[in-house]
A and B are shown apart, each in its own frame.
Chain A
């Protein structure tokens, strides 16, 4: 087994069964690999099963056929090396910012005092100091996303799964959060699988972009984005290379989107 890879999906099938018992084939003989510290983006037409890949890697869902490996091994349940940032708000509305960020270590049995200290540190790192005792409904969408990032990063995941985390934000906030994510990631070097429908977002963030076909989903093409780092989100997007790559990804994808 090639253990150069941190995450491997090998010929994976994933089916959904409707309440009437009908079968919908989502992933079909699907393979994908991610190296340690690599930033991978996944783009594809809507409903093609981008998020399903994340559910499989996290262990929230099981493959119907094929293998899902982390460090070359199959795993049971939810792997503790995984962090997951969801598309919609998944911070706990009845907890304030401090308690929301501390929740991961507390679930994992860390001492309360230590968890709070760690939480304060991460709140500072995502720039939310002064908001420790605010409840989520008192924060803006961008601030809630920061809480979600801190909540995930505090567990120091080796694998960071992100499901269109910034899709609900306005354009300015989105650019800001992308930059922030790149900074956090460059210090932390987790392997990232970043699902998005936004081609420019995929290109600006990732080392490798997987373009998926429509259902039943296969990998259509893999792009290597060899734009040097550190990247500056607001500037790199105007370079020639960036435009070239996003254009050809769009060409690939448009064949899938056209009906």
Chain B
């Protein structure tokens, strides 16, 4: 008798579960539908406004012209050579600048974070340097390092360094003093404290800064190309601007966005690997 009851009860719960699973799926379908709706209305509206002449497509372009421009670039290449080469050049500058800036930022951040005296002396200058609109340094780098890759990498480094430095510094300063004391009593040397305790505690801060700073590196590289270069997406934009080709500017923007999204995805993968000890935030 009670067995029968249990079986009935189980079936009942299974039924309830089915309904709740269906509800979750239903909600998800709703979200997806309205996402597409939003995209469709925005792009469609833009296209309609352009075609009816409410906004001037000469200045603001239209989705169809942008798509056509992209198509031409992909199939026939750009005026500076194939599109993939432009992407590769910009990506190379970005990644190099990002890596150099990030490594320098982490090293300096930890050095200053671990040494109160150094921090007290230099913190004021770091603040000042951070307040300067560093993108202007691009002009100096073009003059000093020429039109080649070096000037773009330098600008990307400067863009990345301060962000990563600031976060690494903060992360080190906020490392739990209890953890450090515990490590020291357990027998850790100063070196071990730095690398086995302070660095791992600052890691979530550092990784958070990498997300933002990759975008900054990309901005540095593109603006550097903008200011003067022989290749790259920045030059593509500058050329399009010179030819009053609004569709070209938007198309280049889309290419950059795709690059940035891919990079962000890779950094998130790295972050999840390195921080697998963290509780998952819902």
Tell me the A residues contacting B by CB distance below 8 Å.
58, 60, 78, 80, 82-84, 86, 88-96, 103-104, 107-108, 135, 137-138, 151-152, 155
C-alpha gap A93/B196 in the complex (Å)? 12
Contact between B277 and A84, CB atoms less than 8 A apart: no
Q: Which partner residue on chain B sits nearest A55 by CB separation?
A: B181
Kindly list chain B residues whose C-beta atoms are within 8 Å of the C-beta of A84.
181-182, 185
Contact between A107 and B188, CB atoms less than 8 A apart: yes
Kindly list chain A residues whose C-beta atoms are within 8 Å of the C-beta of B201.
94
C-alpha gap A108/B189 in the complex (Å)? 9
Known: A80-B187, A92-B197, A103-B186. A137 touches B179 (CB 8 A): no
Query: With an 8 A cutoff between CB atoms, is B267 at the interface?
Result: no
Further pairs besides A94-B201, A94-B277, A137-B277: 16, Cβ < 8 Å: A60-B184, A78-B185, A84-B182, A84-B185, A86-B178, A89-B178, A90-B178, A94-B200, A94-B203, A103-B186, A107-B183, A107-B189, A107-B192, A151-B182, A152-B186, A155-B186
Contact between A88 and B178, CB atoms less than 8 A apart: yes
Q: How far is the CB of A110 from chain B (nearest CB, A)?
A: 10
Kindly list chain B residues whose C-beta atoms are within 8 Å of the C-beta of A93.
277-278
Known: A84-B181, A86-B181, A90-B179. A95 touches B187 (CB 8 A): no
Q: Which partner residue on chain A sits nearest B200 by CB separation?
A: A94
C-alpha gap A84/B192 in the complex (Å)? 18
Q: How far is the CB of A150 from chain B (nearest CB, A)?
A: 12
C-alpha gap A188/B200 in the complex (Å)? 33
Q: Which partner residue on chain A sits nearest B184 by CB separation?
A: A78
C-alpha gap A152/B189 in the complex (Å)? 17
Residue from B182, B188, B192 in contact with A86 in the complex, judged by beta carbons closer than 8 Å: B182
Known: A92-B197, A92-B200. A135 touches B277 (CB 8 A): yes
Kindly list chain A residues whose C-beta atoms are within 8 Å of the C-beta of B184.
60, 78
Query: With an 8 A cutoff between CB atoms, is B53 at the interface?
Result: no
Kindly list chain B residues whose C-beta atoms are within 8 Å of the C-beta of A86.
178, 181-182
Q: Which partner residue on chain A sits nearest B182 by CB separation?
A: A90
10 A-B pairs (CB sep. < 8 Å): A60-B184, A80-B187, A86-B182, A88-B178, A90-B178, A92-B197, A94-B203, A96-B277, A137-B278, A151-B182
Residue from A135, A137, A151 in contact with B186 in the complex, judged by beta carbons closer than 8 Å: A151
Kindly list chain A residues whose C-beta atoms are within 8 Å of the C-beta of B275.
94
Query: With an 8 A cutoff between CB atoms, is B133 at the interface?
Result: no
Contact between B277 and A60, CB atoms less than 8 A apart: no
Q: Which partner residue on chain A sits nearest B276 by CB separation?
A: A135
Q: Which of B176, B179, B182 has its CB near the most chain A CB atoms (within 10 A)? A: B182
Kindly list chain B residues whose C-beta atoms are within 8 Å of the C-beta of A94.
200-201, 203, 275, 277
Kindly list chain A residues whose C-beta atoms are within 8 Å of the C-beta of B192.
107
Q: How far is the CB of B28 from chain A (nearest CB, A)?
A: 29
C-alpha gap A226/B208 in the complex (Å)? 57
C-alpha gap A248/B200 in the complex (Å)? 48
Known: A95-B277, A107-B192, A137-B277. A82 touches B185 (CB 8 A): yes
Which B177-216 residues have C-beta < 8 A from chain A? 178-179, 181-189, 192, 196-197, 200-201, 203
C-alpha gap A135/B182 in the complex (Å)? 18
Q: How far is the CB of B196 from chain A (nearest CB, A)?
A: 8
C-alpha gap A155/B186 in the complex (Å)? 8
C-alpha gap A80/B183 in the complex (Å)? 12
Residue from A89, A92, A107 in contact with B187 in the complex, judged by beta carbons closer than 8 Å: A107
Known: A92-B200, A107-B188, A155-B186. A137 touches B181 (CB 8 A): no
Kindly list chain B residues whose C-beta atoms are within 8 Å of the C-beta of A104.
186-187
Which B64-91 residues have C-beta < 8 A from chain A? none
Query: With an 8 A cutoff between CB atoms, is B242 at the interface?
Result: no
Kindly list chain A residues whose C-beta atoms are within 8 Å of the C-beta of B200.
92, 94
Q: How far is the CB of A193 from chain B (nearest CB, A)?
A: 13
Q: Which partner residue on chain B sits nearest A79 by CB separation?
A: B185
Kindly list chain A residues whose C-beta atoms are within 8 Å of the C-beta of B203.
94
Q: How far is the CB of A71 from chain B (nearest CB, A)?
A: 18
Known: A90-B178, A92-B200, A94-B200. A137 touches B279 (CB 8 A): yes
Q: Which partner residue on chain B sits nearest A92 by CB separation?
A: B179
* Among all A-B residue pairs, the 7 with the closest Cβ atoms: A90-B182, A107-B187, A104-B186, A108-B187, A84-B185, A137-B279, A94-B277
C-alpha gap A90/B175 in the complex (Å)? 12
Kindly list chain B residues whose C-beta atoms are within 8 Å of the C-beta of A92.
179, 183, 197, 200
Kindly list chain B residues whose C-beta atoms are within 8 Å of the C-beta of A96.
277
Q: How far is the CB of A120 from chain B (nearest CB, A)?
A: 18
Kindly list chain B residues whose C-beta atoms are within 8 Å of the C-beta of A103.
183, 186, 196
